[in-house]
């Protein structure tokens, strides 16, 4: 495919629809073009269909100057989608596609940083991120309003809403004036117009948001020197912590697998297990008994669906393993993103039953949950993945079925950037306790499988690296309160540095200095916590309106940056809707979420080399890489990926699907 030629046909700079509609250009255009009666843009007379909306020239040749109502009704007759109508966009099949192979994803995801580690503060702790009601708008919306804390804690209301709302309005005003200014610019000829528009936009951005005179010069950072107590290593005899995200298609058996592992390691007593079985049977959900160990809320148990990320732990031979049982349903992917932000490695649970594996691969849109979860895991830089091929009992422990799954899913995982050496394939049945913590006893499996069990595969994962000698960074996952922690506490994983009781920390935003009152790790009080630990930190000298999930506790001299205008390097996942300038997306970074607008598409880039393939492309579609600028409706804690990876990985979502993954290339606005 000749990429250049194909793209030339569809090349417009962002905002061109406004420009093409401008009456000022009509005389020039009229001389060499036909006017589309739908979107009113002018096309080359050789074109048989409209470059903007894709409608054929002949369909409307008899019309002139249609009214909006006429346009709408004609488009409806044309069977264009609602979105296509609203955007005057081209028909999907006509979108040019770059010939970028999925191997390119591998290079893109080579941002993959070293693994991190983590401990859960208490065995019964859950990251209850989204209180879900099926009659409320959408979990994606709900997640932004705050993360629901563990059952064992009382949730503190996030009183930040009013501030965020006013901030959002402020940003909206800015954006409106920006686009007004943009559309006001005009010159003669399409090329000149698009060029000047692009320059103006750049100028506006620079002048409005990044003018040197308006930007405070960051004061030179003092050299960070960790204190001696921060660096003291692990206590003798204690295991390293391994934070394991359990992901996979809905109903693939994730919670059952976690429940089984906990029971087999004595974390759930026989009495407790008996109780779960009885309660599950009473609710006619007998098969969910093990899942109930993880799904503790009544909503989750009632529906048999995990909605939040549950955190439980057990000790293996090499690790203190923290299980992060994630929801599999597509509605709860934002929770999965927030939970997986803390993982060192992952188990991807696949349902081997006939039809279920296929649904996980293809889904409704061609991108099933198994694929989406695998991509999210890889985009977090995780390199070690155990693929647990579950429910093999339902296919008589067929080796052929296992091999087929390994073949099909394996090629997709490699295309995501997982190396063969980072993948471990484990056939099992959690229901029949086959190959979980010991060699399989069922001859139908043991006759052809000689590899290790799931527990061996977990112990085989190399120890994660930690940023202990960096300044403190603790992204806030949840805001909690308890009798032992006090009225104001936060939970989360220390991404870098260390804290101890009595330490001063700066809470970003708003930049208030607070004092660490208590620290809890693994459900017990401790004096010091270091990078990799998952802790609850009780704070004093701070108001509850100054704490918000998605915020960050930092070293007082080294606060992380907060910003709302970011330059991102993204990789667009398979999707049905093209990304255009002005596109509204949901922006995710660590535990923070914000609404965002695609302000500018700077360039289409080569995945491997980073070389600019095209400047200011009109739109982005699946499997393309690009540099874009996004404008968030509120400021979030963020760092450039090159500076600190954990705060520089981003996800863009729209209409309930992850549409792009990427990194923060530059922070364009700094508070
Ligand atoms: N036959 C069979 N059924 C299983 C196996 N593992 C789990 N199940 C059943 O699959 C159903 C779903 O199990 P869960 O553990 O809730 O699945 P999940 O992936 O956690 O579900 P979500 O978190 O809601 O996505 C339950 O009825 C389980 O009993 C297995 O190995 N074999």
Atom of ligand 1 nearest to the CA of 248: 19
- Bridge partner list, 598: 630
> Cis peptide leading into 510, omega within 30 of 0?
yes
What tokens were used for 222? 């003092």
Contacts of 107 (CB under 8 A, 6+ apart): 417, 607, 608
pLDDT 10s digits, 311-331: 788 889 998 888 888 775 666
- On the question of pLDDT at 215 being above 80, the answer is no
Dist CA 265 CA 277 (whole Å): 18
Task: Output the residue whose Cα is nearest ligand 1's atom 24.
Answer: 305
Q: Which of 251, 259, 288, 391 to mutate to test the pocket of ligand 1 (most atoms within 8 A of CB)?
A: 251
What ipTM is given for this predicted complex?
Answer: 0.98
User: Would you place residue 282 in the very low, low, confident or very high pLDDT band (cuts 50, 70, 90)?
Assistant: confident
Cα distance between residue 627 and residue 612, in whole Å: 9
Tokens of 344: 């060192």
Q: What is the mean pLDDT of residues 70-85?
A: 42
Decide whether any atom of ligand 1 lies within 6 Å of the 96 Cβ. Answer: no
Ramachandran sector of residue 592 (left: φ over 0; alpha: ψ -120 to 50; beta: rest): beta
pLDDT of residue 181: 38
> How far apart (Å, rounded) are the C-alpha atoms in residues 84 and 76?
10
Q: pLDDT tens across 170-211, in order?
A: 444 444 333 333 333 333 333 444 343 334 333 333 333 333
Does ligand 1 lie within 6 Å of residue 308's CB atom? no
- Residue 154 to residues 21, 147, 342, 484, 582: CA-CA distances in angstroms? 55, 12, 22, 12, 40
* Mean pLDDT for the stretch of residues 423-435: 94
Pocket flag, ligand 1, residue 33 (CB < 6 Å): no
Which atom belonging to ligand 1 lies closest to the Cα atom of 328? 25
Give the angle subtended at the CA of 628 by the CAs of 623 and 630, to the nearest 5°. 120
Residue 116 Cα to ligand 1 midpoint, Å, equals 29
Secondary structure of 217-237 in HEC code, one letter for each residue: CCCCCCCCCCCHHHHCCCCCC
Mean pLDDT over the full length of the chain: 71
292 lines ligand 1 (CB under 6 A): no
Q: Which of 38, 1, 45, 46 is nearest to 20 (CA)?
A: 38
Q: Give the tens place of pLDDT for each residue, 386-425.
A: 999 999 999 999 999 999 999 999 999 998 889 999 999 9
DSSP sequence for 328-376: -SGGGHHHHHHHHTT-SEEEEEEE-STTHHHHHHHTTTS--HHHHHHHH
Q: Which of 257, 262, 291 to mutate to test the pocket of ligand 1 (most atoms within 8 A of CB)?
A: 291
pLDDT digits (tens, 9 = 90+) for 34-67: 665 555 556 666 666 655 555 556 544 333 344 4
Question: If you take atom 13 of ligand 1, which residue's CA is the nearest one?
Answer: 253
Given pLDDT bands bounded at 50, 70 and 90, which one contains residue 12? Answer: very low
Assess contact for 651 and 379: CB atoms under 8 A: yes
Q: How far is the CA of 451 from the centre of ligand 1 (A)?
A: 24
Given pLDDT bands bounded at 50, 70 and 90, which one contains residue 570? Answer: very high
pLDDT tens by residue, 582-617: 999 999 999 899 999 999 999 999 877 889 999 999
| 254 CA distance to ligand 1 middle (Å) | 6
Strand, coil or helix: 390? strand
Contact, 385 vs 425, CB < 8 A?
no
Task: Please identify, by atom number, the ligand 1 atom nearest to the C-alpha of residue 430.
Answer: 31
For 372, phi then psi, to 5°, come to: -60, -45
Please return the burial class of 671, using the count of CB atoms within 10 Å of its CB with bins 0-12, 13-18 and 19+: middle
Per-residue pLDDT band at 94 (split at 50, 70, 90):
very low
**3-class secondary structure, 98:** coil
Confidence of residue 295 (pLDDT cuts 50, 70, 90): low
pLDDT tens figures, 331-390: 667 777 877 788 889 999 999 999 999 988 886 666 788 988 898 888 888 889 999 999
CB-CB contact of 456 with 532 (8 Å): no
Confidence at residue 325, expressed as pLDDT on a 0 to 100 scale: 81
Alpha-carbon span 514 to 534, nearest angstrom: 19
| Residue range 263-268: mean pLDDT, rounded | 86
The reported pLDDT for the residue numbered 121 is 37
- Give the closest residue (by CA) to ligand 1 atom 12: 251
- Determine the average pLDDT of the residues in 564-593: 88
Averaged pLDDT, 614-633: 91
């Amino acid at each position: 495919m000749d990429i250049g030629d194909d793209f030339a046909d569809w090349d417009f700079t962002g905002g061109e629809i406004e420009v093409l509609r401008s009456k000022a250009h009509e005389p020039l255009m009229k001389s060499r073009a036909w006017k589309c009666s739908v979107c009113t843009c002018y096309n080359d007379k050789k074109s048989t269909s409209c470059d903007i909306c894709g409608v054929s020239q002949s369909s409307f040749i008899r019309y002139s100057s249609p009214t909006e109502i006429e346009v709408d009704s004609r488009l409806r007759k044309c069977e264009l989608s609602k979105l296509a109508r609203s955007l005057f966009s081209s028909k999907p099949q006509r979108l040019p596609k770059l010939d970028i192979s999925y191997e390119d994803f591998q290079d893109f995801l080579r941002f993959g940083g070293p693994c991190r580690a983590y401990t859960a503060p208490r065995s019964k702790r859950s990251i209850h991120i989204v209180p879900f009601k099926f009659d409320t708008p959408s979990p994606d919306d709900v997640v932004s309003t705050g993360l629901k804390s563990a059952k064992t804690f009382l949730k503190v209301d996030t009183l930040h809403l009013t501030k965020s709302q006013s901030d959002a309005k402020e940003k909206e005003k800015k954006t409106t004036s920006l686009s007004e200014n943009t559309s006001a610019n005009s010159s003669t000829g399409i090329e000149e117009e698009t060029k000047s528009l692009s320059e103006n936009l750049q100028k506006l951005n620079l002048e409005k948001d990044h003018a040197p005179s308006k930007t405070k010069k960051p004061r030179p950072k003092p050299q960070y020197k960790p204190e001696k107590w921060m660096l003291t290593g692990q206590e003798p005899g204690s295991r390293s912590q391994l934070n394991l995200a359990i992901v996979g298609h809905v109903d693939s058996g994730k919670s059952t697998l976690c429940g089984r592992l906990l029971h087999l390691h004595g974390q759930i007593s026989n009495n407790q297990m008996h109780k779960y079985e009885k309660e599950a049977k009473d609710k006619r959900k007998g098969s969910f008994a093990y899942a109930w160990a993880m799904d503790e809320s009544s909503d989750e148990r009632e529906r048999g669906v995990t909605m939040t990320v549950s955190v439980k732990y057990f000790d293996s031979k090499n690790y203190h393993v923290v299980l992060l049982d994630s929801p599999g349903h597509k509605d709860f992917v934002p929770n999965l993103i927030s939970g997986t932000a803390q993982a060192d490695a992952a188990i991807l649970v696949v349902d081997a039953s006939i039809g279920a594996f296929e649904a996980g691969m293809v889904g409704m849109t061609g991108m099933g949950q198994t694929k989406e979860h695998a991509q999210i895991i890889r985009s977090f830089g995780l390199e070690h993945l155990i693929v647990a091929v579950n429910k093999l009992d339902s296919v008589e422990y067929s080796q052929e079925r296992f091999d087929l799954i390994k073949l099909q899913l394996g090629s997709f995982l490699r295309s995501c950037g997982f190396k063969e050496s980072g993948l471990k394939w484990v056939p099992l049945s959690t229901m029949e306790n086959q190959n979980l913590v010991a060699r399989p006893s069922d001859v139908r499996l043991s006759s052809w499988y000689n590899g290790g069990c799931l527990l061996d595969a977990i112990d085989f994962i190399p120890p994660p690296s930690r940023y202990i000698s960096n300044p403190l960074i603790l992204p806030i996952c949840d805001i909690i309160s308890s009798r032992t922690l006090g009225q104001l506490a936060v939970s989360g994983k220390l991404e870098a540095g260390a804290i101890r009781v009595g330490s001063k920390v700066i809470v970003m935003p708003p930049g208030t200095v607070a004092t660490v009152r208590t620290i809890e790790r693994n459900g017990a009080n401790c004096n010091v916590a270091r990078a990799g630990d998952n802790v609850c930190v009780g704070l004093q000298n701070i108001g509850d309106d100054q704490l918000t999930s998605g915020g960050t506790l930092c070293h007082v001299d080294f606060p992380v940056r907060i910003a709302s205008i970011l330059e991102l390097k993204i990789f667009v996942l398979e999707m049905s809707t093209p990304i255009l300038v002005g596109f509204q997306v949901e922006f995710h970074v660590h535990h923070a979420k914000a609404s965002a607008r695609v302000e500018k598409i700077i360039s289409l880039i080569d995945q491997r080399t980073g070389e600019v393939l095209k400047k200011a492309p009109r739109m982005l579609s699946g499997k393309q890489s690009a540099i874009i600028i996004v404008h968030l409706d509120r400021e979030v804690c963020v760092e450039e990926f090159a500076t600190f990876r954990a705060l520089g990985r981003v996800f863009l979502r729209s209409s309930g699907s992850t549409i792009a993954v990427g990194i923060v290339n530059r922070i364009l606005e700094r508070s």
